[in-house]
Structure 1
Amino acid sequence: MVLPGVYAPQEDTALLAGALSDESLPPGAAVLDVGTGSGALALAAAARGALVTAVDMSWRAVWGARLNAARSGLRVRVRHGNLFTPVHGETFDLVLANPPYVPAPLGGRRPRGAARAWDAGHDGRMVLDRICREAPALLRPGGVLLLVHSALSDPGLTVGCLREAGLKAAVIRRRRIAFGPVVRGRERWLRQRGLLAPADNEEELVVVRAELPV
């Protein structure tokens, strides 16, 4: 169930879910799902016996994720807050992140309402850079970060930042998809900025995997 105004699971969710299915996840593993939305990824991890915490800054998303967990008969701790703030001081075996990542012609304004789920500043990295800075401290030795975003927001920079933080990082999955309504609505602006080439008629999504060495 997806409440009005909450980001519904889409191709990026499915791509990240595929990466999650490839991870070794023993029962009792501590998993964090930030930007949980409807809770789809949190529930997928909980179904494998993980101890899952889900976080979202939208109260509607929090209520929806709690409802979906209850309906599924799965235990998920759902917290309201901005990214990692609600789990300050905790560490995890796996962190999942599907943050806002679409470049937006907002100037100095911050996104509001439902747009907070996809608009991510002029370069698409308003939240990605914070994840790169803060996520390494949340990982236990051998812990893994799985992060999905668009090629429009520079996966190479994401990988480089995570490596500088001492993690082993690489792009492990890619998928090209048709432009969704958000990208279509700003396609001309993206082409003017050179983020889309004249011949591009699809968007590429990537999953970055980063692991903290033991």
Structure 2
Amino acid sequence: MRAALMWTINDFPAYAMLSGWSTKGKFACPCCNYGTNSRYLKHSRKMCYMDHRVFLPMDHPWRSNKRSFNGKTELRPPPPFLKGTDVLNNLQDFENVFGKKRKRSNDGPLEKRSIFFELPYWQHNLLRHNLDVMHIEKNIVDSILGTLLDISGKTKDHAKARYDLKDMGIRKNLHPKDTEKIVREQSLQKRASQ
């Protein structure tokens, strides 16, 4: 009897451990790989990954919808698929260091060489790692319900998020308003009318 490992099914942290691909920082999207469009949100103090409209068909109406997204049309094609042979070539002289924090030699997303590349066929697998949909769906539903129901600690709509929208220059109707300034202006108008 012979056995072969076809792929792994895991959540995002396990994906990072098994594949060697960093799921944190500016290259966290495994589909976009080196073409990940990330941005640090200074008020929320987290990374934001945008521009996933590149995966839509070129004639999709959302590609030209500026208002609902980042204020720009999306004309780029999807990023190229990262093949196992390319990953293995990038990690040719890579040495895994366990037990202590290693200094990164480059600013790339590959943090270690996966043990699965010891299998002779692993680099030729088209799909090496799958993400567990159950965990992803649960997190997305929690975020949506928390925001819609305005559950404290669960909502994604807070003052810091509004300031980040202002910094990005999108969704002007959601930007925070200086209420003190508005109150001052209203009181000045009231005095002028009296």
Between Structure 1 and Structure 2, the one with more strand by share is 1
Same fold (TM over 0.5): no
Greater relative CO (CA pairs within 8 A, separation 6+): 2
Between Structure 1 and Structure 2, the one with more helix by share is 2
